[in-house]
Amino acid sequence: MLDPERIRSVVDLQQRSYKLLRWATDAVDRGFITFDRLHRYATLPEATLGWLESHYSDVPLNARPDRDQLRPFSNLFSTYLENSFDLIEQPGQRLFSPEAHCFCPMCSWLVAAPRLQTKKVSRQNKARARKLQQIAIKQVAVDHAHPIIDESIEALANDPALRETLALVAYGYDRLRRVDGVAEGPATLALWRGFAWTTHGSPNPDFELTAQAILDTQAKLGGAVLAT
C-alpha cells in the first residue's frame, strides 16, 4: 500500500523540483548562477546535494526542500532531469566559454537549463510503462490479499476506463523509488502522459498532481482488483 505520508512528501518534493528548475533556468539567464567555481562531484545526485547545500539560502522558499530532505530531493531532482530531458550541446548558443566553466554534473545541466529538450517517449518506454502498470495491479492485489490471475491483470490493464487510474498508481510507486535514487527512465514520462495528457495526445493545461489524487486512484484500483 502506498504510504500516505511518503506520497505527500514526495509530491511536495516533486513540485519543488519543477520550481527549482524554473528558477535555476531564469537565474542562469540573468547571470545569478555562475560556473566559475570548480566542483569535484562524480554523480548528478551528489552534485545536486553539494550544490544545494552551498546555495541553500539563494533558492526561493517555494523551491527549497527542508534541510533534512536534501538527499531524497537531490535523488528526485536528478532523476527528473535525466529522465525528462536531453542535454543538447549547442556550442553556438553557449553562454559560457567551454574552458571557463565547471563541468561537474550539476553545472553541466545548469549551463544547459535554458535549452533543455523534453525526451522522446519510445515504443520501448511505452512497453515498460505498461509493465509498470501490471506490476502496480499485482501490488494492489497483494495489498488486499486478493489472489489474481494473469488474465484478469491483462483485462484490467486493457480497460480504457482505468487508463488514468493505472498510470497514476504506477506513477505513485515510481515516485517512491525515485527518492531512493532508482529511476525507470522515460517510461515514467509515458505514465505521466497517461493521466496528465488527454486521450488526444496533448497536455491537459488544468492538470495538477496531488498526493490525494494518487491515493484516491489507488483505492479505486483496489475496488477494480477486488471485483475480479
Q: Which residues contact 157 (CB under 8 A, 6 or more apart)?
A: 130, 133, 134, 137, 166
Strand, helix or coil for residue 38? coil
Q: Which residues contact 213 (CB under 8 A, 6 or more apart)?
A: 168
Q: How far is the CB of 25 from Zn ion (least distance, A)?
A: 16
179 sits near Zn ion (criterion: CB under 5 A): no
Residue type, 69: Q
Q: How far is the CB of 74 from Zn ion (least distance, A)?
A: 14
> Of the two residues 38 and 226, which places its CB atom closer to Zn ion in the complex?
38
How many residues sit in the footprint of Zn ion (CB under 5 A)? 4
Q: How far is the CB of 103 from Zn ion (least distance, A)?
A: 7
**Residues 82-121, mask of contacts with Zn ion (x by CB under 5 A):** --------------------x-x--x--------------
**Residues 118-157, mask of contacts with Zn ion (x by CB under 5 A):** ----------------------------------------
DSSP per-residue string spanning 160-185: GGGHHHHHHHHHHHHHHHHTTT---T
Strand, helix or coil for residue 31? coil
Q: How far is the CB of 104 from Zn ion (least distance, A)?
A: 3
Q: Which stretch binds Zn ion (CB under 5 A): 38-46, 59-67, 134-142, 186-194?
A: 38-46
Burial of 88 (0-12, 13-18, 19+ CB in 10 A): exposed
39 sits near Zn ion (criterion: CB under 5 A): yes
Q: How far is the CB of 28 from Zn ion (least distance, A)?
A: 13
Burial of 54 (0-12, 13-18, 19+ CB in 10 A): exposed
Roughly what angle, to the nearest 10 degrees, separates helices 163-178 and 4-29?
80
> Of the two residues 50 and 222, which places its CB atom closer to Zn ion in the complex?
50
Binding site for Zn ion (CB under 5 A): 39, 102, 104, 107
